[in-house]
Chains A and B, each alone.
Chain A
Amino acid sequence: MDLRFEAASLYAVRSSVAAHAAGLGATPEVMDRVLIVASELSTNAIRHGGGSGRVRLWTTDGRIYCEVSDTGNGVADLDSGTKRPDPRAAGGRGLWISRQLGDDFAISSGPEGTTVRVAIALHDARESTVK
């Protein structure tokens, strides 16, 4: 899946991501995680990354990769989202949530834009150990 988006197309991002993740055989719990990550990162691109972006989804070695990139001015602090924001804080939750839900998280940012890549195991390890 490779989709360009802007503010008006967040609904389309979510429905495409949900349909795509379902097609890859993700469990409902994994689907929720992918959906939340894709939507939060896309929201960041719209609100702080120049107003539009691109979301890609693919699988490799039993993991779903979700990558969102924008052409904004970049993120000042690459460590942002490593601590949970206070409930009263105005923002900063998208990266925190994506770091929490991802099995792997990578961010690169510069004056030409930001790219965040999150990997989520297709079959949740926590789930399979229970079974």
Chain B
Amino acid sequence: MVARLAGGDHACMTFSDGEERLDLVAAFVRNGLRHGQRVLCWTDSIPPDDMARALADRSVRHGAAMRRGQLSIAPVRAALLDGGGATAPQMISALSKEVDQAAKDGYTGVRITADMCWATRPLAAVDQLRAFETATADLFADGRLCLICQYDRDRFDAVTLAFATESHPKAVAAQVYFESPLLRICRQYSPRGVRAAGELDYGHQEEFEHALSESLRLDRHMHVNLRDLNYIDAACAALLLQAAERLTVSRRMTVVCQPLVATVLELIGANSVAGMRVSLAHGHA
């Protein structure tokens, strides 16, 4: 998973949910900053300012890191593609320059994450993307570079996605406990916890309980993101209270949700559970 990536890794991140992508990118950036590496975040479908805000929302302190030159958030077209029409060798050379520059600036390594969405535009050369992904192997040999290429499953065709998965030695994706058109329960990486979207009722109690028990086991504080959850029934809401009751004194559970979910939680006694905090999502306060 994203926390285990290290120098020398070239990973493919596929996603179909924008929030999930941002969670994974935030975890990748935070780990890099923590390890004293240079971190380059190359964006395409999301403007750099929005990416900075998304990182801040996920508790990544980007401001100071950007000021001291450790972190840079820039459009991928400028950083990798020389304005748009770069060939695969030019892209490789751009990456290799970044690796050398980071070493000159005293960093132990460089982490780069790039949105590959540019390759889906008309006139963009998908063949250059393929040549690039295939020819990068040498760059990773000395363990100084760690690269995650982001592939939006809704934007790329199945053939390119299959190629992307094959050409990357590692894959990064959110752990999904349940997924259907009406409900999605997955792990959240930044801040760590669980995310559920859609409608949740007793029919999927077991999957929700599984997700909560993993977070209870793995995370110091549990962040339960229910921003996009339109419905929760009392049976599933009670699972949140039961998980929060099992937290030791120094740990807490934070639930972010819509008013309906907050109403259900309040009625079944969320206020009486010491380690539990419920707050309304932006736009609902």
Chain A bound to chain B: yes
Interface, chain A (partner B; CB < 8 A): 7, 10-11, 14, 28-29, 32-33, 35-36, 39-40, 43, 47, 84-85, 87-89, 91, 93-94, 96-97, 100-101
Partner among A32, A39, A87, A91 whose Cβ is within 8 Å of the Cβ of B263: A32
- Count of A-B residue pairs with CB < 8 Å: 60
| Cβ–Cβ contact A100 & B267, under 8 A | yes
Given known A28-B259, A43-B233, A97-B234, contact A36–B264 (CB-CB < 8 A): yes
Max count, chain A CB within 10 A of own CB: residue among B199, B242, B268: B268
In the complex formed, the residue of A with least CB distance to B268 is: A93
Partner among A35, A94, A100 whose Cβ is within 8 Å of the Cβ of B231: A35
Q: How many residues of B contact A (CB 8 A)?
A: 23
Interface of chain A: mostly helix, strand, loop or mixed: helix
Inter-chain contacts of A32 with B (CB < 8 A): 259-260, 263
Closest 9 CB pairs of A and B: A93-B234, A87-B241, A32-B260, A97-B267, A100-B267, A93-B268, A97-B234, A87-B269, A84-B269
Partner among B201, B242, B268 whose Cβ is within 8 Å of the Cβ of A39: B201
Inter-chain contacts of A33 with B (CB < 8 A): 263
Q: In the assembled complex, how far is the CB of residue A15 from the closest CB belonging to chain B, in whole angstroms? A: 9
Task: Give the distance in Å from the alpha carbon of A39 to the alpha carbon of B233 in the complex.
Answer: 8
Inter-chain contacts of B272 with A (CB < 8 A): 87
Known: A40-B233, A43-B233. 11 other contacts (CB 8 A): A11-B182, A11-B199, A14-B199, A32-B263, A36-B264, A39-B231, A84-B268, A87-B245, A89-B238, A93-B234, A93-B267
